[in-house]
Amino acid sequence: MGSLRRVFHIARNDLRIMVGDKAFFFWSLVFPMLFIVLFGLLYRASDNAPAVAELTVVNLDEGRWGGYFLDKVKSPTIALKVVDSEPAEYSRLLVLPADFSARIEARRDQALAFKKRQDASTQAAARVETRLYQAIARVIGELVVYGDGDLAKFLDGHAEFRDLVQVKSRFPEDTVTVVPSGFDHSIPGTTIQFIMMMVIIYGGITVMEDRKKGVLGRMLVSPLTKTEVFLGKLAGRWLMGLVQALILFVVGQIPPLNLNLGSVPLALLVIAVFAMAMAALSVFIGSLCRKEDLIIGLAVLLANIFAGLGGCWWPIEIVPPGVRTAAMVSPAYWAMDALHKLRFFQGDFGDILPNLGVLLALAAALTVVAGRTFKIRE
Amino acid sequence: MRRLLLVLGNDVRRHLRSPLAILIYMAIPMVMTGLIGIIFAPRAEEAQLPPIQVLLVDHDKALASKLVLGTFDVDQMKKMFRVTVTDEADGRDKMKRGRASAMVVIPEGFTLDLLDAKTTTLTVVKNPAEQFLPDVVEEFVTTLAVMLSGAVQAFAAEVRGVRAMLEGPLDTFPWETLGPELGKAQKKMVAARAYLDPMLIRLKADETRAAGARTRFTRTDLFSIMLPGMAVMFLLFIVQTLMRDIISEREDGKLRRMMTTPLRPLELVGARLLGGWVMGLAVLLVMVAFGTLIFRAHWGPFGYFLLLGAAASFWTAAFFGCFHAFVRNRNQAGALGAPIILAFSLFGGSMMNPEAMPKAFLAVGVATPNRWFIDGAALVRDGRFPAASLAVLVLSGLVLTALAVPALRRRTSV
């Protein structure tokens, strides 16, 4: 019991020193918030905006089919802008050639030029392109049904195309009821990334400096064993990660962020186990390296690789299957996956148990390695 | 001047003896570029996204539902979708485990409703943890629904015949009427070929840049765009590390000992600034060489790029000269240095394509070296001279040098 108290005394003292550092609030609040806002806005833009996708049409058609085709393209989510010549500025451009009607009436196939600006929203472009394919399907469908005679007279009267098959979309029952916001994606991702960066950099450098300056050696003069010093340092870095997560989760409750974690206690449990693994990694790196720059470099390298692979920066679903399999070596992957289960599927303890198991095993393995390399003196 | 060069040469040798930290900083942009490149680079295949995992729940188990399943089995669609037939409970479980992006539910009586020309609904259950792929599935199913609606209307008479066959007992079915009906269907199918083979109207999609100029975006282009941003970010880290000697030598007492030699403070300050500049440029060129070898990145005319790199390294050396003149100690330098570099990189476009960034971030980015270097590198890549970037980096670098030299000289005098 006394041993445990001494371990937590060391951890609490390390945490107090860290919170007293001026740069702490930059690393734990200011910089992560910039990331959260930036990625949150990007995710949100991809999810919802633009609500109406713009399509500029150069209608050079000399007949009536051009107008008829554009009527089929019209939709509440598409803003059609018909012009006479190609403008300098556009997001998406469709060109209906002068012989558009003539070719249809002669039953000769044609390819319409559809230009998408590289820097415009890819989602809006996909929405417009799909709508164009749907319009083509409607026109060809009508031609197949009613187009057995003179197509020049086709537009003078025929029955309307009916959408017999309709499509309804929803989320699975007992999950979310509204589309998750960009911040619901960016806050967990940023939190995981900054726990890695902060714990490895701060934790690693302070272990190294304490050793180099003889602080660790002096601690052994007090009634502390080497194991207690090691566990105290480990617990201190674990608390760093927890404090970092708590700060971001609390700030995440402020509008317009309105973070929803699903189950808060389970989300904190995931973070706690993840932070434990990172704490062990930081003590290991701090014991191994003798230079601050080396620790910073390693921390930036590892945190960025783990974050990129683990789905902290971009949705893991867009990653090629091979990279997705490789991502399983990243602790961030298991933490992000567990947080997704909690947030998006209202998951319970049983759902995240495999993730917790992997993270705990990693934390245990890293703790053993860190314990073996932990040195009191150079 | 000779003494200045002696100090500079000694600094270079010293840093070359323990290059691990510098090598790691140089490796980071390469690793990051490689990782992002693997994920986002355009692929040779038609499908730009990985195959989308789709679950199909068939409550109908009849002709039309088989048709829906069959459309996912067409060669072109197979590249895009991987379909698994399952039930709803298993589907939900698979989505939770990240094994599927969406689940398409075909309702009971789907085929009969279509045969009766009644409106019917396909349901797309989207994975809430995913952001892009479920929408792709929804759009595909919507297009499929339009085509199915068209097909049912095109063959309405034949569909009614099939309906009658399905309903009545086999012995009461008027087989003699089937011949003419099949004949009509055949005619319709032959007529439909005029519109469907080849498709009467197709789209020829192209990606364009400003003013509608056509371009083809390759993996090499992506690397060439990303690498300058990454390189300037880690140039800042590396020059900061190299120039930290200014502070550490004072704290370690080395400076006091150096000043007992016939070395003047101005010579030492000049050696440190020149060292930061020269070593920064050397490191940048090594990163460029690796980028060219590993990623086949193209940088444009080398002379222009060398000028831009020299200007960026000069700015960086001047900035960190100034920075180390004003911070109090090594701890403060360490605590402030990395946040400043990361802020420069975030706002300046090293971490993200500036075109995708919010306008407020872009406005702040104008005050960062990253932005000017990235913009300049883009111009050089297009074969143009980066006049504005050079002017901004050199002039602001001179201002920083003018601030740094007297301050550093004061702090070097013992």
In the listed set B101, B124, B154, which residue is the last one of a domain according to the structure? B154
The reply to whether residue A117 touches residue B209, judged by beta carbons under 8 angstroms, is: yes
Q: How far is B69 from chain A (nearest CA, A)?
A: 15
Note whether A96 and A58 are within 8 A (CB). Answer: yes
Q: How far is B376 from chain A (nearest CA, A)?
A: 19
Alpha-carbon span A186 to A192, nearest angstrom: 10
Q: Specify if B185 maps to a domain.
A: no
Mark whether B299 and B398 lie in a shared domain.
yes
Give the Cβ contact number of residue A221 at 10 Å. Answer: 7
- Residue B132 contacts A where some CB pair is shorter than 8 Å: yes
- Residue B25 contacts A where some CB pair is shorter than 8 Å: yes
The reply to whether residue A143 touches residue B202, judged by beta carbons under 8 angstroms, is: no
Work out the widest C-alpha separation in chain A, in whole angstroms.
102
Over residues B77-91, the pLDDT tens digits come to 777 888 999 998 888
- Residue B413 contacts A where some CB pair is shorter than 8 Å: no
Q: How far is B262 from chain A (nearest CA, A)?
A: 31
Q: How far is A321 from chain B (nearest CA, A)?
A: 7
Note whether A17 and A160 are within 8 A (CB). Answer: no
Alpha-carbon span B39 to A321, nearest angstrom: 10
* Residue in this structure with the two tokens 């927890």, named with its chain if needed: A242
- Comparing CB atoms, the residue among A34, A144, A309 nearest residue B195 is A144
Does position B390 have pLDDT exceeding 90, yes or no?
yes
Model confidence at B358, in pLDDT bands (50, 70, 90)? confident
Residues of A in contact with B39 (CB under 8 A): 308, 314, 318-320, 323
The reply to whether residue A172 touches residue B128, judged by beta carbons under 8 angstroms, is: yes
Alpha-carbon span B244 to B253, nearest angstrom: 14
- Residue A35 contacts B where some CB pair is shorter than 8 Å: yes
> Which of B45, B124, B131, B342 to probe the A interface (max A CBs under 10 A)?
B131
Mark whether B295 and B360 lie in a shared domain.
yes
In the listed set B97, B119, B154, which residue is the last one of a domain according to the structure? B154
Q: Specify if B213 maps to a domain.
A: no
Q: DSSP states of B44-104 as a string?
A: SSS--SPPEEEEEEESS-SHHHHHHHHHTTSHHHHHHEEEEE--HHHHHHHHHTT--SEEE
Mark whether B137 and B244 lie in a shared domain.
no
Strands A53-59 and A92-96 turn out to be: parallel
Q: Specify if B95 maps to a domain.
A: yes
Residues of A in contact with B141 (CB under 8 A): 167
Mark whether B392 and B328 lie in a shared domain.
yes
What is the total count of domains within chain B? 2
Of A245-254, B10-19, B109-118, B210-219, the one with minimum mean pLDDT is B210-219
Over residues B296-322, the pLDDT tens digits come to 888 999 999 999 999 999 999 999 999
Over its length of 378 residues, how does chain A's per-residue pLDDT go in tens digits?
A: 678 899 999 999 999 988 887 777 777 788 888 888 777 776 655 444 455 778 999 999 988 899 999 998 998 878 899 998 888 778 889 999 999 999 998 889 999 999 887 666 666 777 788 889 888 988 888 887 777 777 777 777 776 778 889 999 888 877 776 666 677 778 888 889 989 988 998 899 999 999 999 999 999 888 889 999 999 999 999 999 999 899 888 888 888 777 778 888 999 999 999 999 999 999 999 999 988 888 988 998 899 899 989 988 877 777 787 888 889 999 999 999 999 888 888 888 999 999 999 999 999 999 999 999 999 887
Mark whether B347 and B384 lie in a shared domain.
yes
ipTM of the complex as predicted: 0.70
> Which of A99, A165, A313 to probe the B interface (max B CBs under 10 A)?
A165
Residues of A in contact with B357 (CB under 8 A): 38
Peptide linkage before B169 cis (omega within 30 of 0):
no
Q: How far is A223 from chain B (nearest CA, A)?
A: 30
Long-range contacts of B59-63 (CB under 8 A, 24+ apart): B59/B105, B59/B106, B59/B107, B59/B108, B59/B110, B60/B106, B60/B107, B60/B108, B60/B109, B60/B110, B60/B111, B62/B110, B62/B111, B62/B112, B63/B111, B63/B162
- Sign of torsion over alpha carbons A206, A207, A211, A215: positive
- pLDDT value for B342: 83
Residues of A in contact with B136 (CB under 8 A): 126
Name residues 292-331 of chain B within 8 A of A (Cβ).
none
Q: Specify if B33 maps to a domain.
A: yes
Note whether B284 and B309 are within 8 A (CB). Answer: yes
Mark whether B396 and B307 lie in a shared domain.
yes
Note whether B226 and B345 are within 8 A (CB). Answer: no
Q: Specify if B187 maps to a domain.
A: no
The reply to whether residue B126 touches residue A171, judged by beta carbons under 8 angstroms, is: yes
Alpha-carbon span B41 to B221, nearest angstrom: 9
Does position B211 have pLDDT exceeding 70, yes or no?
no
Q: In this structure, what token pair is assigned to residue B409?
A: 């000289």
- Residue B414 contacts A where some CB pair is shorter than 8 Å: no
- Residue B49 contacts A where some CB pair is shorter than 8 Å: yes
Residues of B in contact with A99 (CB under 8 A): none
Alpha-carbon span B297 to B285, nearest angstrom: 13
Chain A's closest residue to B153, CA to CA, is: A145
Strands A92-96 and A110-117 turn out to be: antiparallel
Give the Cβ contact number of residue A259 at 10 Å. Answer: 23
Q: Specify if B125 maps to a domain.
A: yes
> Which of B32, B122, B196, B200 to probe the A interface (max A CBs under 10 A)?
B200
Mark whether B231 and B368 lie in a shared domain.
yes
Give the number of A-B residue pairs with CB atoms closer than 8 Å.
Answer: 295
Mark whether B283 and B306 lie in a shared domain.
yes
Q: Identify the CATH number of the domain in which residue B136 sits.
A: 3.40.1710.10
Mark whether B382 and B322 lie in a shared domain.
yes
- Comparing CB atoms, the residue among A23, A41, A163 nearest residue B146 is A163
Alpha-carbon span A95 to B203, nearest angstrom: 10
Mark whether B356 and B236 lie in a shared domain.
yes
Higher-confidence residue of B1 and B372: namely: B372
The reply to whether residue A317 touches residue B195, judged by beta carbons under 8 angstroms, is: no
Residues of A in contact with B204 (CB under 8 A): 111-114
The reply to whether residue A116 touches residue B121, judged by beta carbons under 8 angstroms, is: no
Q: Specify if B194 maps to a domain.
A: no
- pLDDT value for B165: 67
Which residue range forms the structural domain that includes residue B56?
51-154
Chain B's closest residue to A133, CA to CA, is: B143
In the listed set B137, B154, B171, which residue is the last one of a domain according to the structure? B154
- Residue A348 contacts B where some CB pair is shorter than 8 Å: no
Q: Specify if B202 maps to a domain.
A: no
Mark whether B34 and B62 lie in a shared domain.
no
| pLDDT (mean) for B128-144 | 84
Alpha-carbon span B399 to B271, nearest angstrom: 18
Does position B413 have pLDDT exceeding 70, yes or no?
no
Residue A226 backbone phi and psi in degrees, to 5 = -60, -40
Chain A's closest residue to B21, CA to CA, is: A294
Alpha-carbon span B148 to B145, nearest angstrom: 5
Mark whether B128 and B27 lie in a shared domain.
no
